[in-house]
Structure 1
Amino acid sequence: MSTDFQRARAALGDRLRELRRSCPDGRLTGTQLAERLGWPQSKVSKLENGRQTATAEDLAAWAEGTGQPQVIGELTARLKGLESDYRSWRRQLAAGHKPVQDTLNAEHAQTKVFHAWQGAMITGVLQTADYARHVFLRYAELHRSKRDTEEAVRSRLMRQEGLYDPGKRFNILVGETALRSLICPPSVLAAQLDRLIGVVGMDTVNLGVVPFSAPLKIPPANGFLVYDERLVIVEDWHAELWINDQDSVTTYMRVWNTLRESAVFGAEAQRVISEARRSL
């Protein structure tokens, strides 16, 4: 969890504590507020001490319970500020994978220049339906989330329409590990690699592969996506980080450009993909 996120959540907790202590009808203890809201007292404590992230419903209930409904808008704005930086998978996947994909589709729709790095998995915008299906199933198992696999697959494939938009550019780097990782059956991976071979040479797509044999200036780490150099989305096991401060975006672009120096493109990229395909 990022330090900035921890600080913001702690600041929200301080505000909630302030509201509890300044009730118009008299100061409430944590136990009294918990009883009023029908919550365990531990929840009130965790929210005030920044050890649990509130939902929008939690904040609305807190404002009403402390007799200050006029602050709901303020609290909701604070929560959106938190979520703009840190989006836990537990919270995001409560309604399944499709809403997450729909949110990403909205970012893709407004983006002209897209950069991506994925070391161990094919980037979503280039995935076949079968490959995407297996990825969603694996993550649903990991996070024990709602299984809306087919809806999520359809939503993910919708953004592939952008590949045929002459006003967009997709600069995508993948590691050779991604070409060989059996996150799906070999027959599905084979079809996925055929798809990648077909993408090489498209005028809207600049696809590079970082081979196992390539010298690296930096160790390849987490995958990330850059939208018009205004937003970076980084995926980790527990959460997605949405990063929009310019210094951080510049750092991720520097990482992408450094990895690009180790990548091969065009016919050489097709050769590396074809070798992985034959190995299946």
Structure 2
Amino acid sequence: MTADYQQAREALGLRLRELRINAPGGRLTGPQLAARTGWAQSKISRLERGQQTATAEDLEAFAKGCGSPEAAGELQEMLRGVESRVRPWRRQLAGGHRAVQNAHNAEHAAASLFRGWEPAMVMGILQTPDYARSVFTRYAELQRSPQDTDAAVRSRMKRQEALYDPSKRFHIIMWESALRALVCPPSVLLSQMDRLHGAIGMDTVELGIIPLAASLKIPAATGFWVYDDRKVVVETWHAELWIDDTPSVRTYLRTWNVLRESAVYGADAHNIINAARRALTTR
């Protein structure tokens, strides 16, 4: 959890406590508010201390319980500020994957330099439609979210138009394991490798691959994107982290640069892709 996210959550908690203490009918205790909302008192405490992230429905019930229903809009605006940093998948995917892809498309449109690291699968900006379809289907099953797979694939393919924009640059690093992970049928993965071969020759793309046998200065952990030098998006199992505080962005840039030291490019990257292809066709 980033420091700026926790500070935003604590600020929301302080505002909640202020509403309870200054309730129009007189100060409410935690147990009194819990009785009005039907919650455990411990939930009131966690929300006010910034130890639990409220939902929009929680904030509406809290404001109503305090006798200040008109404050719900203000509280929900503060919540949107919190969630601009941590975006739980259960909320983002409530309507499917397309909305998430559209949000990323907007960020891509506003940036010109992209640095990305992906240890487990092919980076989205380089995925074929069939590969992306397999990924979206599996994540929808995992997150138990609506399957709008075709719409999500179309949105991701729309983003790839930026690869042909001469004003943009994509500096991508992937671990060799991403080329071997069968998150899709073998035939789809073979076509995906052809796509990667072609990407290496693009003038807007610098594609590096870290061999499995390479010496690593740091562990090959979670994948992330850096937009210009101002924002980082990190995907975890429960949420996306959107990070824009300067110290944290600099940490990710240092991480990317350290990982890049272990990557190979050009003909050497082609050789790794070919080795993965041979391994797949001889299974």
User: What TM-score does the superposition give when structure 2 sets the normalisation length?
Assistant: 0.89
Q: Please report how far the alpha carbon of residue 157 of structure 1 lies from its aligned counterpart in structure 2 after TM superposition.
A: 1.4
Matched letter for residue 19 of structure 1 = L
Query: How far apart, in 2, do the equivalents of 1:236 and 1:111 lie?
Result: 23
Structure-1 residue corresponding to 2:227: 227
Matched letter for residue 204 of structure 1 = T
Q: Does 1:191 align with 2:191?
A: yes
Matched letter for residue 157 of structure 1 = M
Query: How far apart, in 2, do the equivalents of 1:253 and 1:65 lie?
Result: 45
Matched letter for residue 228 of structure 1 = D
Q: Percent identity?
A: 62
Q: Please report how far the alpha carbon of residue 61 of structure 1 lies from its aligned counterpart in structure 2 after TM superposition.
A: 4.3
Q: Please report how far the alpha carbon of residue 264 of structure 1 lies from its aligned counterpart in structure 2 after TM superposition.
A: 1.2
1:207 alignment partner, SS class: strand
Structure-2 residue corresponding to 1:241: 241
Structure-2 residue corresponding to 1:267: 267
Matched letter for residue 269 of structure 1 = A
Change (3 A) 1:123 1:78: same
Greater CA drift, 260-269 or 162-171: 260-269
Q: Does 1:126 align with 2:126?
A: yes
Matched letter for residue 26 of structure 1 = G
Matched letter for residue 113 of structure 1 = L
Q: Please report how far the alpha carbon of residue 138 of structure 1 lies from its aligned counterpart in structure 2 after TM superposition.
A: 1.7
Q: Please report how far the alpha carbon of residue 121 of structure 1 lies from its aligned counterpart in structure 2 after TM superposition.
A: 0.7
1:116 alignment partner, SS class: strand
RMSD: 2.2
Greater CA drift, 169-178 or 94-103: 94-103
Greater CA drift, 119-128 or 80-89: 80-89
Query: How far apart, in 2, do the equivalents of 1:77 and 1:257 lie?
Result: 36
2:218 alignment partner, SS class: coil
Matched letter for residue 47 of structure 1 = L
Query: How far apart, in 2, do the equivalents of 1:88 and 1:254 lie?
Result: 26
Q: Please report how far the alpha carbon of residue 216 of structure 1 lies from its aligned counterpart in structure 2 after TM superposition.
A: 1.9
Change (3 A) 1:159 1:240: same
2:91 alignment partner, SS class: helix
Greater CA drift, 65-74 or 240-249: 65-74
1:115 alignment partner, SS class: strand
Structure 2 unmatched runs, 5+: none
Query: How far apart, in 2, do the equivalents of 1:45 and 1:106 lie?
Result: 37
Residues 13-54 of structure 1: CA distance to partner in whole angstroms, max 9, x if unpaired? 2321220221112233445545655x4446545433434322
2:79 alignment partner, SS class: helix
1:242 alignment partner, SS class: strand
Q: Please report how far the alpha carbon of residue 3 of structure 1 lies from its aligned counterpart in structure 2 after TM superposition.
A: 5.5
Matched letter for residue 140 of structure 2 = A
Structure-1 residue corresponding to 2:149: 149
Structure-1 residue corresponding to 2:52: 52
1:93 alignment partner, SS class: helix
Q: Please report how far the alpha carbon of residue 164 of structure 1 lies from its aligned counterpart in structure 2 after TM superposition.
A: 0.7
Query: How far apart, in 1, do the equivalents of 2:47 and 2:147 lie?
Result: 29
Does the aligned pair in 2 maintain the 1:30–1:41 contact within 8 Å?
A: no
Structure-2 residue corresponding to 1:167: 167
Matched letter for residue 222 of structure 2 = N
Residues 216-257 of structure 1: CA distance to partner in whole angstroms, max 9, x if unpaired? 222211101000110011111122111111121112111111
Q: Does 1:217 align with 2:220?
A: no
Matched letter for residue 55 of structure 1 = T
Matched letter for residue 87 of structure 1 = R
Residues 188-229 of structure 1: CA distance to partner in whole angstroms, max 9, x if unpaired? 111111111111110111111111222222221110100011
Greater CA drift, 43-52 or 146-155: 43-52
Structure-1 residue corresponding to 2:22: 22
Does the aligned pair in 2 maintain the 1:211–1:263 contact within 8 Å?
A: yes
Structure-1 residue corresponding to 2:83: 83
Change (3 A) 1:41 1:216: closer
Query: How far apart, in 2, do the equivalents of 1:90 and 1:142 lie?
Result: 11
Structure 1 unmatched runs, 5+: none
Matched letter for residue 113 of structure 2 = V
Structure-2 residue corresponding to 1:200: 200
Matched letter for residue 175 of structure 1 = W
Q: Please report how far the alpha carbon of residue 10 of structure 1 lies from its aligned counterpart in structure 2 after TM superposition.
A: 3.7
